Amino acid sequence: MSTHTVTLTINGEEHRHEVEARTLLVHFIREDAELTGTHIGCDTTSCGACTVLMDGTPVKSCTVFAVQAEGAEISTVEGLATNGALDPIQQAFTDEHGLQCGYCTPGMMMTSRALLRENPSPSEAEIRRGISGNLCRCTGYLNIVKAVQKASATLAEGGEND
């Protein structure tokens, strides 16, 4: 049963840990790198609470082995704010009440951020389709959609869309 030294970058910082092959990326992030902003929800590849960006692409980190992410650049919710300033997507979720319990929020924001990078001014239908792999049990999605629209507008006004 093999163990592997996995080296990857999370939010610009290198992390190296020896893990079993069966260690899931989400556990590497939460338990080895001790970044617990990324949540574990359903454990069955359904809910998207564990969504992180792997080399810029949103993936469900409960369905990728850490060893598969060797050498990858991972972005998590902890990496959104810069120098204490909230990212436009974080500010928009705050302003539009895009959350109630907050459990889905890290995954929802990571997916939304990637969506806006690919499609800076999505229609409502494109937003709903884009976040359809992330489940929210509180909001009915209405305010989440509004938050993504607001972040889109903020970014268009010259907020940085890196």
Partner 1 sequence: MIPASFDYTRPKTVAEAVTLLGENPEAKILAGGHSLIPLMRFRLAEPSMLIDINQLEELRYIREGDSWLEIGAMTREAAVESSEVVVTRYPLLVDTARVVADPLVRNMATLGGNVAHADPANDHPATMLAYGAEMVITGASGERSVAAADFFVDAFTTALEPSEILTAIRIPRAKDGDGGAYFKLERKVGDFATAAVAAQVCLSSDGVTQSAGIGLTNVGLTPIYATAASESLIGSALTDEKIQGAAKLASEAAEPIADHRGSEDYKRHLVATFTTRALKTARERAQGGAA
Q: Between 68 and 94, name the residue whose CB sits nearer to partner 1.
A: 68
By the rule CB under 8 A, 121 interacts with partner 1: no
- Binders of partner 1: how many residues, by CB under 8 A? 29
E strand residue ranges, the chain: 3-10, 13-20, 51-54, 57-60, 73-75
Q: How far is the CB of 117 from partner 1 (least distance, A)?
A: 13
Give the integer Cα–Cα distance in Å for 151 and 101: 20
By the rule CB under 8 A, 22 interacts with partner 1: yes
Work out which of 13, 18, 43, 124 binds partner 1, going by CB under 8 A.
43
By the rule CB under 8 A, 46 interacts with partner 1: yes
Q: How many CA atoms lie within 13 A of 79 on its CB side?
A: 20
Sheet with 13-20, side-by-side order of all strands: 13-20, 3-10, 73-75, 51-54, 57-60
Give the integer Cα–Cα distance in Å for 22 and 76: 21
Residues 123-142 that bind partner 1 (CB under 8 A): 129-130, 132-134
Q: Which residues bind partner 1 (CB under 8 A)?
A: 1-2, 4, 20-22, 24, 27, 43-46, 48, 51, 57-60, 63-65, 67-68, 111, 129-130, 132-134
